Amino acid sequence: MSQNTPKQWFNLEERFFNDIDNQLLDKLRNEMSSEKTAQEIMRLTGISDEKLAAEIVATNVSVETLAAFRLVPLIAVAWADDRMEDNERYTIQLAAEKAGIASESASMELIRAWIERRPPAELLQTWCDYARALAASLAGEHRKTLQQEINQQVSAVAHASGGVLGFGSVSSSEQAVIDQVNEALS
């Protein structure tokens, strides 16, 4: 049996601490990446609850996915009456800008296409399936916050088309879409 020399012990110790340092550095990078992603989600989606954004990041939802996630219900509500009013169009574009979607991006081109031509009904159903999965993975208070924020946006689109003196401005078909959106997030 050979005895370990001080140099061998030093090498073992150095490797051990290098492994620990690398693990800690990886953990720090992941935490910084998660924090940056949470801030990006907040900036792009308008979510103001930091804990909610961090919990969404923990579910491995990308910023791009969440930006699309947030706009599908708005598009569906606007098309609920089989036409897109100018005020609804403007409200959706405003929401997209607030979400940080650049005017020259592919995402904005897709939104413009959805504004001009009604997307297939399967899009809202796919969104609802995705929303149920995301909502199920969020804590109750965060799920409620997300539901409230999305509900405010879809309600703004529904009310954008007007009505008489603000009465009856949400049609029954728009309300049906809003109810479907809320049910998916419950």
pLDDT in single tens digits along all 186 residues of the chain: 456 666 665 566 556 555 655 565 555 455 446 677 788 777 765 566 788 777 777 776 666 556 666 789 999 999 999 999 899 999 999 988 887 777 887 678 778 888 988 988 888 888 888 788 778 878 888 888 888 888 999 999 998 876 545 555 788 899 999 999 999 998
* Continuous segment of H or E residues that includes residue 104: none
Q: What is the pLDDT of residue 1?
A: 47
Q: What is the pLDDT of residue 44?
A: 62
67 within 8 A of 110, measured Cβ to Cβ: no
69 within 8 A of 130, measured Cβ to Cβ: yes
Unique residue bearing structure tokens 């969440």:
66
90 within 8 A of 160, measured Cβ to Cβ: yes
